[in-house]
Amino acid sequence: MTNLYNIKLIVNGKEYERTVEPRLLLSDFIRHDLGLNGTHVGCEHGICGACTILFDGLAMRSCLMFAVQANGHEIKTVESLGTPNEMHPLQQAFHEKHALQCGYCTPGFLMSLIPFLENQSEPTDDQIREAIDGNICRCTGYQNIIDAVKLAAEKLVVG
Amino acid sequence: MAGRVFGQPVLRNEDAWLLTGKAEFIDDINLPGMLHAAFYRSDYAHARIKNIDVSAALKRPGVIAVYTAADFSEYWKAGPLQVPPPTAIPDSIFHARTLIPIAKEKVRYSGEPLAVVVAESRYIAEDAFDDIVVDLEPLEAVIDLEKALEPGAPLVHDDLDSNLAAHVIQKHGNWDEAVAQADVVIKKKIVVDRCAGSAIENCGILVDWNDRKREMTIWATTQAPIPYRNSIASRLGLFEDRVQVITPFIGGGFGPKIMNSLPHDVLIPIIAMKLKRPIKWIEDRRENFLSTTSERNQLHYAEIAAKKDGTVLGIKDIFYHNTGAYDPYAMTVPLNTQTHTISNYNIPNYYTEINMVFTNEMVVTPVRGAGRPFGIFVMERMMDFLACELGIDPADIREHNLVNRHQYPVRTGIIGQDFVENVLDSGDFPKALAKVRELIDYDKFVKEEQPRLRSQGKHKGIGIVCFTEGTAVGPYEGARITVGANGKVNVATGISTQGQGHFTVLAQIAAEQLGVEVKDVNVITGDTAQFHWGAGTFASRGATVAGTAVYKAAIKIRSKAISLGSKFLSVPEDQVELKDGRVFVKGEPEKSISLGDIALKANPIRGTFPEGVEPGLEATDYYGPPYGATGAGSVAMIVDVDPETMAVKIERFVITHDAGTLINPMLVEGQIIGGVSMGIGNSFFEKLVYDDNGQLLTASFMDYLLPQATDMPPKIELGHIESPSPLNPLGIKGVGEAGAIPTPACFVQAVENALAECHLQINETPLSPSRLWELVQESMK
């Protein structure tokens, strides 16, 4: 068996201390150890983007990192956004523009888009396409997602 | 016939849970004492098993059990035939070789399981693979569809005389007469290659066996929970009600999740029974590529006979269909090919022959489109070759031959996947073509813009094709609607849902009839304890077949609510009306009773009860169509080809579509656009490549390319046409597969047109930049 390591990190504003194997994927740690199931796993080789989280504010694929690498860092997952009764403007925009079907890839899209929208208040279609190019959606063909991001940008400006 | 909520772009009931990460998917469910399974899979596609030694694996800490075929004794048997054989077609031959639970004596595809490890964690289970020692004797793999049928070819199934899995001939008219009358006959070899369903969520199953109660709860990602339950119960010798199958939220289906006889479907329930502990298995992406079913490999020898004016007299199509190592799904896919090849046009003489072939590849079962795209690809390609030969415009030759709107119902004489004659129920194909032609400004592009662009050295091409989508086939679905004392409504059906929006569209159908809000209707799909009759979600049938059952049950409830409401309000039935969830006395809005109160009173707990009346405000009904409803449409696209890199950019994409009456236009558009994106993937990005040894060379998303946001056209433009289906009272049709069906045919035509100076005649799909480069090089020789 491998050695175990103690890690301490902040997830969605809450501090956690856990003991983990060094090989434990960050995605598995978030899902299975912390029970934050909103982060999804689609390929486990860094292509589909369903497992995207914010790592110190940057969109990262949690399936390509180990939990031990998150020691001392701050993570945000989809659970840090809104709730069913009070959705984040980006989530609300996805709802209004029918930008999700099965919804499995959606948390990854949202987490890629949060930092993007922080830097882009009036994104163009091409900028949005680039921003979500690392997230694969098999259901929607992306068109409604692009519309949703534009709507979200408007909602966020109005605030 | 848009109503208050029916026909409206109602926002989805299910979104809030999905968007906030609260929706429960299979791998989110954990049970106390749960163990994890992992499948040790064969690296060889075809091999004899000499020995499997798992003794070292059993010694690894955390490993609970390791099983091979020998451990399953009486439970090791070939699985069910999920679809009946084509006995409705005279002289058809079909050899059923259904999936086996785990390889025994022989391996027939790369990825077939040899052993199952059960451990305290998935990590440990996979660690134990290192401890398993297998001795396999490799055999020559059967890959090439034609060589597979040559005498002396190695056999996938040793007990058969050849690798022929099935042989079916269907015809109407007389092909030889078509040839005799024809001015031109063209013959082409056409190849359609493999693609994967690639739902972003892989498959999974979690089984909890309660040994004291002798009952089993299964959470699974199945598109067909009731057949899934029945199959497992039957195999385990349990009465069906002892097995409850629940589908949590499912992250996309696209066909492969219809399977109920893949190794995990069979083995995980057995192992849960053996170990008396909950067992979870979650597929990883590589396993999904290797061992969950895929589609689309066919080889056609097609002929078209026509008059000089472009009138098509006949089609002859002899084709080879790759079914992979087993054929548990019988012939749904190639039968769809046979019906769809001729479904747009008047083809007086048609001969179509299926040679279904066993190979050492993964099993082929429906993937979004399910045989239809090949039929459309073959027909549309042959139309293009004919147009080229006769010097007729591709759009004009199609218009000339299309079935017109006065011909319905059109009897095609060809038996389809539902084992009845394929009948086109309704539509207006010429209108769909005319509309797409107008929307993309086809004539202006061809006559004015393209010559100008060509003179500037640009390589822009246009494609225009027609398609049908046989949807909403039988046998049947059902629904039970219950009004609660709180006035909320439950709709339970036997289908399951993978993102299509059933939680909303079925709610819209019920809400329209019951005068309640869509958000107050809770749709339950995929729980066999809630509703245990039905076939499942496939063939673009969920919303139409289950939706019609919901409608019929809602009508019954409406009638009962009015009857009981008038009784409780002490006025005749014709003096009450149902709206806003209440029964009102007409003209006296202060006199009313809510649906919830009616439901409460309809279930009295003391007193007497009238004979012949069922308690509660609840009704169940069923619907089964005589044959499927015909979706149809046309697609046009303009592409720009870079002759240096052979990158193809789709600049415009227009689709006109007829899904009958729309339940929710927003969701219909979503389905169409999503289907188109899969069609674009199937045209230029996605391809499952097997080498000569049966090794899958594209078993990751790095090698198997799904279309990304930057690969899509700037906008997919839609034009709706509504020809209500006469087969159901709502006039609705299916739409789930539409976009995927015509896109490859249109793409190839547009690329050919863009590279007109090369005089390409492309006989294959999917393409890729490198393949296109090769084709251009060949054309210049």
Token representation of residue B608:
């007497």
B-chain CB neighbours of A128 within 8 Å are 709
Residue B632 has which token pair?
């149809």
Q: Considering only CB atoms, which chain B residues are within 8 Å of A79? A: 20-21
Contacts of B673 in chain A (CB under 8 A): 140-141, 143-144
The per-residue pLDDT for range B226-256, each reduced to its tens digit, is 999 999 999 999 999 999 999 999 999 999 9
Q: In the predicted model, is pLDDT for residue B517 greater than 80?
A: yes
- Locus of tokens 């989805």: B12
pLDDT surpasses 70 at B688: yes
B515 Cβ neighbours under 8 A, 6+ residues apart: B578, B579, B580, B581, B582
- Extents of the domains making up chain B: 15-19+474-623, 382-473+627-779
Closest approach of chain A CAs to the CA of B140, in angstroms? 31
Q: Give the residue extent of every domain in chain A.
A: 5-79, 89-158
Report the residue from A47, A95, A146 with minimal CB separation from B15.
A95
Of the options 3.10.20.30, 2.60.120.330, 3.40.350.10, 1.20.1250.20, the CATH number for the domain spanning A5-79: 3.10.20.30
Q: Nearest chain A Cα to B250, which residue?
A: A102
Positions of E strands within B396-450: 410-415, 421-424
Give the C-alpha separation, B59 to B66, whole Å. Answer: 10
Q: What is the pTM of this model?
A: 0.97
Give B24 to chain A, closest Cα distance, Å.
8
Q: What is the mean pLDDT of residues A133-146?
A: 98
Residues 26-55 of A with CB under 8 A from B: 31-32, 36-45, 47-48, 50
Q: Do B501 and A101 touch (CB under 8 A)?
A: yes
Q: What backbone phi and psi angles, to 5 degrees, belong to A16?
A: -125, 145
Quick: pLDDT tens for B272-322. Answer: 999 999 999 999 999 999 999 999 899 999 999 999 999 999 999 999 999
Residue B396 has pLDDT above 60, yes or no: yes
Gap between the Cα atoms of B534 and B205, Å rounded: 21
pLDDT of residue B88: 86
Measured between CA atoms, the residue of chain B closest to residue A82 is: B20
Is the ipTM higher than 0.90? The answer is: yes
Summarised one tens digit per residue, pLDDT across range B593-619 is 999 999 999 999 999 888 888 999 999
Q: Output the six-digit token pair for B60.
A: 């690894």
Q: Cβ distance B737 to B472 under 8 Å? A: no
* Model pLDDT for residues B71-81, shown as the tens digit of each residue: 998 889 999 99
Distance of residue A32 Cα from the nearest chain B Cα, in angstroms = 8
Contact B542, B258 (CB under 8 A): no
Encoded tokens for B421: 């004659």
Tens-digit pLDDT profile for residues A100-126: 999 999 999 999 999 999 999 999 999
Phi, psi of B690 (to 5 degrees): -100, 135
How many CA atoms are closer than 13 Å to the CA of B693, on its beta-carbon side?
Answer: 9
Which pLDDT does position B369 carry in this prediction? 95
For residue B749, how far is the Cα from the chain centroid?
A: 25
Residues 6+ apart with CB under 8 A from B406: none
For chains A and B, count residue pairs whose Cβ atoms are closer than 8 Å: 175
Considering only CB atoms, which chain A residues are within 8 Å of B716? 141, 143
Residues 109-148 of A with CB under 8 A from B: 110, 125, 128-130, 132-146
Two structure tokens written together for B502? 């059933």
- Whether B730 contacts B659, CB under 8 Å: no
What is the predicted pLDDT for the residue at B612? 87
Sheet architecture: strand order including B133-138: B106-107, B47-53, B133-138
Q: For residue range B411-427, what is the model confidence (pLDDT) as tens digits?
A: 999 999 999 999 999 99
A62 close to B (CB below 8 A): no
Q: Is the pLDDT of residue B496 over 80?
A: yes
Q: Considering only the C-alpha atoms of chain A, give the largest distance between any 2 of them, rounded to a whole number of Å.
A: 54
B15-19+474-623 against B382-473+627-779: fold identical: yes
Q: Which of A39, A84, A105 sits opposite B17 (nearest CB)?
A: A84
Rounded distance between C-alpha atoms, residue B642 and residue B754, angstroms: 10
- CA B448 to mean position of chain CA atoms: 40
Q: Is B285 within 8 Å of A125 when comparing Cβ atoms?
A: no
For A38-72, what is each residue's pLDDT tens digit?
Answer: 999 999 999 999 999 999 999 999 999 999 999 99
B331-350 per-position pLDDT tens digit:
999 999 999 999 899 999 99
Q: Which residues contact B358 (CB under 8 A, 6 or more apart)?
A: B97, B142, B148, B156, B157, B160, B163, B164, B165, B323, B324, B325, B326, B327
Please report which confidence band the pLDDT of residue A31 belongs to, taking 50, 70 and 90 as the band edges: very high
Half-sphere exposure of B232 (CA within 13 A, CB side): 35
**pLDDT of B1 strictly over 70:** no
φ, ψ at A21 (rounded to 5°): -75, 145
Q: Say whether pLDDT at A1 is over 90.
A: no
CATH class of A89-158: mainly alpha
| Topology (CATH) of B15-19+474-623 | Aldehyde Oxidoreductase; domain 4 (3.30.365)
Contacts of B685 in chain A (CB under 8 A): none
A58 Cα to chain B: minimum distance (Å): 19
Identify the residue among B11, B34, B200 best suited for mutation to test binding to A, counting A beta carbons within 10 A and taking the highest.
B200
Query: 3-class secondary structure for chain A?
Result: CCCCEEEEEEECCEEEEEEECCCCEHHHHHHHHCCCCCCCCCCCCCCCCCCEEEECCEEEEHHHCEHHHHCCCEEECHHHCCECCECCHHHHHHHHCCCCCCCCCHHHHHHHHHHHHHHCCCCCHHHHHHHCCCCCCCCCCCHHHHHHHHHHHHHHHHC
- Which CATH architecture fits B382-473+627-779? 2-Layer Sandwich (3.30)
Q: Which of B669, B684, B704, B678 is nearest to B639 (CA)?
A: B684
Instruction: Tell me the three-class secondary structure of B204-273, residue by residue.
Output: EEEEEEECCCCEEEEEECCCCHHHHHHHHHHHHCCCHHHEEEECCECCCCCCHHHCCCCHHHHHHHHHHH
Within 13 Å, how many C-alpha atoms sit on residue A49's CB side? Answer: 21
Could you give the percent of chain B with pLDDT greater than 70?
100
pLDDT higher than 70, residue A2:
no
Quote the minimal CA–CA distance from B131 to chain A in Å: 15
The one-character DSSP state at B724 is -
Q: Which of B19, B706, B716 sits opposite A91 (nearest CB)?
A: B19
Q: What is the DSSP string of B654-668?
A: EEEEE-BS-S-HHHH
Tokens of B408: 């319905």
- pLDDT of the residue at B610: 86
Q: Mean per-residue pLDDT for B684-704?
A: 97
